[in-house]
Amino acid sequence: MATANRWMILVVLAAICLGGCADGADPSLGNGDTADEPEATAMPWAYRLVLRRTPAVEGLKGIALGDDGRIYLASASGVTVFDGDWVQIGHMPTPGPVTAVAVGPEGRVFATEKARVHVFGSDGTLISSWGRAGEGHGELGYVTGIAVHGVDVWLADAGNRALHHFDVTGDLVDSIAGRDETTGQPRILCPSPYMDVAAGTDGEVMITNPGYWRVERYSRGGERLGYWGGQGTAPNRFPGCCNPTNLALSADGYVVTAEKGRSPRVKVSDRQGQALGIIGTEFFAPASAGMDLAVDAGGRVFVVDPAQGAVLVFERMAEEG
């Protein structure tokens, strides 16, 4: 079945979930937490816009940050590299548009197309390309997110509704996909072409599961360790048909998520899903979607707004008192 047709069917499934999930299960529940709506309170953290750049790249799609301060932008023609002062210092061309980018060990750059992964050396030289298009185990449908940690490469495949685990040479370790053996429900639900993955320093990974309005946490071995979120407008939940779309992890373990819809926004939460700060819709283009994220060593949040063709950088404001 064509990818576009699968997503049309999934939109209907998401609409059904809006009225209540199968078997009476609330998808927001994880690790025994209750699903009560939290009381409306002011967020303890506030963020301010400190930088806005509109780089000369066509089809701006994603972002990754290197330990050396370099900035890597995914675009229609490849990966463009900037130094910390936003001076372009390199470009890594790809046959097709890049859908996601990550930086791995030794400064290697991993750039995904829909069904292909290209690996570049720190000097921009192409080292390898791997991945096979298809719907089978470990095959790629529409990759929209990538994370690299040590020898592990994780791909968020919105097209096949899967989380793939490869090693850095492109050998498949495993894929998380299909239906849950207990509930019979899809493990991953992507009504639209958005799904993301981020790796923590401890080797665990987090993904967005937008059709269930939640963030999920997995062990390196593929065991789901917990999840949080749920559909709703409360600070700890996600609105619309299918959010969050993108996520990133800070060095100290905070989770940054992006939401699409009429009022796109970015949210910073702790690892248990407690919302700490919201970067409001006033900074982003109306109905912007697929806002990729990165966090630098100082905790600054980088947001790609594809509709504006811009990268916006936010920093946390000092608390009063």
| Tens of pLDDT, residues 177-217 | 999 988 999 999 999 999 999 999 888 999 999 999 999 99
Please tell me the predicted confidence (pLDDT) of residue 42: 75
Task: Provide the number of structural domains found in the chain.
Answer: 1
Q: What's the residue count for the chain?
A: 321
In this structure, is residue 84 part of a structural domain?
yes
Q: What is the edge-to-edge ordering of all strands in the sheet holding 88-93?
A: 62-65, 71-74, 78-82, 88-93
Q: CB–CB of 92/107 below 8 Å?
A: no
Task: Grade residue 287 by pLDDT with cuts at 50, 70 and 90.
Answer: confident
Residue 2 reports pLDDT greater than 60? no
* pLDDT of residue 8 exceeding 90: no
Q: 142 in a domain, yes or no?
A: yes
Q: Is the pLDDT of residue 32 over 60?
A: no
Instruction: Show the tokens assigned to 197.
Output: 């993955």
User: Tell me: the pLDDT tens digits for 137-154?
Assistant: 999 999 999 999 999 999
Output the pLDDT for position 15: 41
Contact 215, 222 (CB under 8 A): no
Question: What's the rounded mean pLDDT across residues 53-63?
Answer: 97
The one-letter code for the residue type at 126 is: L
Residue 321 belongs to some domain of the structure: no
| Secondary structure element (H or E) that encloses residue 19, with its range | helix 3-19
Q: Round to whole Å and give the CA distance between 104 and 67.
A: 10
Strand partners, 143: 157
The radius of gyration of the chain from alpha carbons, rounded to an integer in Å, stands at 18
Look up the domain containing 249 and give its range. Answer: 3-316
Q: What percent of the chain has pLDDT over 70?
A: 87
Q: For 103-133, what is each residue's pLDDT tens digit?
A: 999 999 999 999 999 999 999 999 999 999 9
Query: Per the domain annotation, does 269 fall within a domain?
Result: yes
The pTM of this model reads: 0.88
Query: How confident is the model at residue 36, as a pLDDT?
Result: 34
Domain assignment present for 227: yes
* CATH number of the domain encompassing residue 191: 2.120.10.30
Burial label for 226, CB within 10 Å (0-12, 13-18, 19+), is middle
